[in-house]
Each structure stands twice: as structure tokens, then as C-alpha cells.
Chains A and B, each alone.
Chain A
């Protein structure tokens, strides 16, 4: 059967879609994204600037790999870990908010809280003996660390669906699956998305630390620079990592505005 949620149907709802009042050229997302891409591709062009500022460092720009290559590896790990964390986090939250899963609710809460107290570096250190060096321990650490905000927000979002709405949905004859798909998840979506936003932004920063266990990321120049006393490498890695996180965060903010259920009052 076709989805009941009117947003999944084509047709006349488009004309009611609220238009983002910010013109595209004034959007901070566009400009930070352009700056990020420019630095990613054009960093070697800044070599004279770095040579002038740090005459004793040779070469003045990190050159063990291209920044684009580092970025793709970095983004790939974040994507894999965050996708897995999103899918499993939402699935666990759905389970914990069903009658059958109520008993597990406290356990899931405890695990999430305990998990949040582990520093990411500790998770990395613990994962290396089990998984070896390279991207794999980093992905595991990102996944475990990123699961918690998504799980927490998804449970909060699902529990915030008004009881009367659920009662009416059941009373008019929606099945359990239809209630979840058409009522609960769409209503919880803004809160879930806020959790994913926090999770992904943290993962981008945390992934940089993965360079210490041999993963190729935008953190690699930072740790090379720190080890070899080459400050320009540290600056290059840090600026790109920070811009990556900022662009992603702004991207999610824009997505959240778009996904805000049209029926809800303006986002808080």
C-alpha cells in the first residue's frame, strides 16, 4: 500500500512548501562550502604564504598525500560509521519504545550513558588490539561514539509523540507498522535529525584522532606536524578539519529547516 504520509505523495503540496527566506548567495553554508573546497584543492597554491611565514619548514605544505585524498578517506569513514549508527540507533530506539521493548529501556539508557563517559581516544586504544591499525578501529570507535546521541534523541523524539495522537491513530485503524511509519517517525524526525547532526559533527572531529592509529584523515597532517615540529602542517590539517565539521553542521541545519513538519509550530 502506498505511504499515507502526505509528504510522500506528489502533487499540490509543493506550492505550500515554505521557502527558505535566506537568498542562496547570503547563505553561510554556500560560502563556507566554497572556502572549504577551495582550500582542499588549492592548498599547494598557498605554499609561498607558508614559506614566508615559516621559512625554516621544508616543504611548507603537507605533501605525503593530497588533501582531497585525505578528505575522501576521512569522509568515507564518517559516512560508514554514521550510517550504521543512525540505522542501529533508530532501530534500538523503536524497539525500546514498543511494549515488547519497555523492559530493555533502562538497560539501553544505562549503556548509552556509560558509553558517553568513555573518551574517544580510549575507545581507539581499546579497539586497536582487537582490530589492528588502520581505518577499522577508527570506524568502530566512531560508530560506538556516534550511536549514543542518535539513540538518545530517537527515544526522546518517539516518546514525545502525544498519547492522544497515538490513541487516535490506533482507534481509527492504523496498524502498528503504519503508526510507526506514518505518524511516529515523521513526528520524531526533527528530534532524530538533531541527534544525527550532533553525532556526525562529533564524528568528524573524532575521526581526525584516528590518524594516531594509522587511519588516513585530515588529522594526519596535524599529527605529522606535531611529531615533526612542523606548525604549518598542523594549521593546514586543523583548518580543513574544522571547516569540514562546520560545513556539515550547516548542511544539517539547512536540512532540519526543510524537514520541519509543516504542521508543527516553528522549530525551537
Chain B
């Protein structure tokens, strides 16, 4: 658990983070979202003491971070950034092994951990272990950057716009991997982005920031369907918020128990947006629904989507 408690940071008289309080529960994937200059990156970098704050308190797993020496704190918290920051003169293996070696792990344990992480990111260990960062594609570099952050198995992972610099296809794949790794490891992740779609896709909790203050925090659907202010409403996309909300809800929430309809069925676990897309593509206003085991589970109609 990360508790940010009435924290303020001032740069030259300007409050970039202003009396911010936010609690991130264990196992959450909390996205700090907002326009540039809203203080989201500053907030992230205060959690591992890269930036000192002027007032308030931050606790990680109950411990006031100012009582932990900065280097020790940072080795317990994973850190991944936009341009990866991979050490260009170290091989992939050495980059990933940075923190385990700082912590004095044995040679064999480090080696096994590197293998495990490369496999987790679907990079063949024997091919990639000895490569240098400049020999990797952008997406591979970013995977290695996140693998380095995870190397010493930290409870908390900080990610500062990690996928902002890669092309959309690669970003989509990387987001999928982060979601998968979050589910598999249950780590607490704090993720900074200005991309609302990325936030809605990944977050279990979103905190929207506006000029150093918390504009609203809550589950993604909450923010989309019940924005607390015009700022939040604008940020989640006004009318387009309707589409975003469809993406967050499942077919099973709206399906009607009815005789099955004609045509290719859609899974109950698919999103309402997928159902909408399927209806549009097939020029129909109703789709049969099937559950995970493939049994008929009713029908979903166009009217159900806008209910």
C-alpha cells in the first residue's frame, strides 16, 4: 500500500503538487492521469525519493519513506521510464541484473532470474541475454526496461509513461503484457500517462490530476460515467466517453434471456464495444450471446447497448 498524505511540492513559488492525498491499495494498478504539467510525474518521482517534497508524508507499506535511505528505498521499488534508460554499454542480461547485483545476489540466482524475466516477456533468453540495447527494437528495449524494474521482485513498480515513445501496434502489445503481468504477479503498480485510452485499458484505479491537485479518483467506469467536474468530463472525452464506457462494460451485463438470434455469436465476456462493432460490421441490430463454455446465453440488441 502506498499512502500519499497531504503532500506539497513547490518549484520557484509554484505549487506543482498541491496538498495531494491518495491511497493506492495493495495489488492495484493505479494510473496517474492528466495533461502535461499537472504534477503526475512529479508525484511518481516523489514516491522513490527522486524528488524531495516540501510538506506532507508518503508511506510505502506503512513506512515513512524519509526514514529509508534513498538508495535502499529505490532498490525495493521498481522503476521504468519512457525512454527506457537502458545502460547502452551493458548487455541485456547485465541491465536486467542491475538491482539483484546491487543487492548481492549469487551469480546463479541472478542468472536464473534473468532467464525467468526474459521468458516472462517472451524474449528467448539465449538469443537476447547477450545483446546490447542498440541491437533491440523499441518494443524489445521497453520490455527489457520493465524487466529490469521487476528484477528484484519489488512489491511496488513505478512506471513513467513507459509506452509513450513506441508505435501504436507495439504499445498495444506492451499494454497487454503489463496487464497480464499485473494479473500474474499482483504487484502494486503506479503508472503515469496522459493517454486516457491507455488508462482505461490498464487501470484498476485512476487518479486524474489537475494543476497539482487530485481532480477525481476511482474505478475507470466511475470516472467515465460519473465525472466529478467539467475538467474530468472533458478529459475522459465528453460524448466519446459513451464509447469508452461501452469498452469497459461486458456483454453479460446487458444480454437478454431470449431465443437465440441468427448469425455468428459473441462471447458474454466480450466488451459492449466489441458487440457494437460486430453489429455495425454485419448490419444487424441483434447478436446471439454464448458463455465461456460455448452454450447459448441469450441475445444482445442495439437497444441494450444504449440502455
Using a CB–CB cutoff of 8 Å, the interface residues on chain A facing chain B are 1, 4-7, 16, 162, 164-175, 178, 183, 186-187, 261-265
A263 adjacent to B133 (CB under 8 Å) = yes
Q: A164-B84, A165-B88, A262-B89 are in contact. Are A172 and B130 (CB under 8 A)?
A: no
A169 adjacent to B89 (CB under 8 Å) = no
> Nearest Cβ distance between residue A137 and chain B, in whole angstroms?
41
A4 adjacent to B82 (CB under 8 Å) = no
- Neighbouring B residues of A187 by C-beta, 8 Å: 88-89
B231 within 8 A of A: no
- Which among B79, B83, B87, B98 has the highest number of chain A CB atoms within 10 Å? B87
Across chains A and B, which 10 residue pairs bring their CB atoms closest together, nearest first?
A168-B85, A263-B132, A173-B74, A171-B79, A173-B75, A261-B89, A164-B83, A164-B85, A263-B89, A6-B94
A165 adjacent to B87 (CB under 8 Å) = yes
- Which residues of chain B from 76 to 108 have any CB-CB distance to chain A below 8 Å in the complex? 79, 81-91, 94, 98-99, 101-102, 104
- Which residues of chain B from 5 to 49 have any CB-CB distance to chain A below 8 Å in the complex? 45, 48
B232 within 8 A of A: no
A167 adjacent to B85 (CB under 8 Å) = yes
- Give how many B residues have a beta carbon under 8 Å from the other chain's beta carbons: 35
The number of A-B residue pairs with CB atoms under 8 Å apart is 87
A1–B71 alpha-carbon span in the complex (Å): 15
Complex partner residue of B74 from A4, A171, A261, CB under 8 angstroms: A171
- Which residues of chain B from 34 to 71 have any CB-CB distance to chain A below 8 Å in the complex? 45, 48, 50, 70-71
A171 adjacent to B50 (CB under 8 Å) = yes
Closest to A12 in B: B130
- Neighbouring A residues of B74 by C-beta, 8 Å: 170-173
A183 adjacent to B84 (CB under 8 Å) = no
B148 within 8 A of A: yes
Complex partner residue of B98 from A4, A186, A262, A263, CB under 8 angstroms: A4
- Neighbouring A residues of B70 by C-beta, 8 Å: 173
A261–B94 alpha-carbon span in the complex (Å): 14
Q: A186-B89, A187-B89, A261-B89 are in contact. Are A172 and B148 (CB under 8 A)?
A: yes
B79 adjacent to A264 (CB under 8 Å) = no
- Neighbouring A residues of B89 by C-beta, 8 Å: 5, 7, 186-187, 261-264
A264–B133 alpha-carbon span in the complex (Å): 9
> Nearest Cβ distance between residue A263 and chain B, in whole angstroms?
4
A174–B79 alpha-carbon span in the complex (Å): 12
> Nearest Cβ distance between residue B142 and chain A, in whole angstroms?
12
B109 within 8 A of A: no
7 residue pairs A–B, Cβ–Cβ below 8 Å: A167-B85, A168-B79, A171-B74, A173-B72, A178-B102, A263-B132, A265-B134
B71 adjacent to A174 (CB under 8 Å) = yes
Complex partner residue of A168 from B81, B94, B104, CB under 8 angstroms: B81
B149 within 8 A of A: yes
- Neighbouring A residues of B75 by C-beta, 8 Å: 172-173
A171–B82 alpha-carbon span in the complex (Å): 13
- Neighbouring B residues of A173 by C-beta, 8 Å: 70-75, 99, 102
A186–B89 alpha-carbon span in the complex (Å): 8
Known contacts A4-B102, A165-B87, A183-B87; 13 additional CB pairs below 8 A are A5-B90, A164-B82, A165-B88, A166-B85, A168-B81, A171-B50, A171-B74, A171-B81, A172-B99, A172-B149, A173-B102, A263-B91, A264-B134
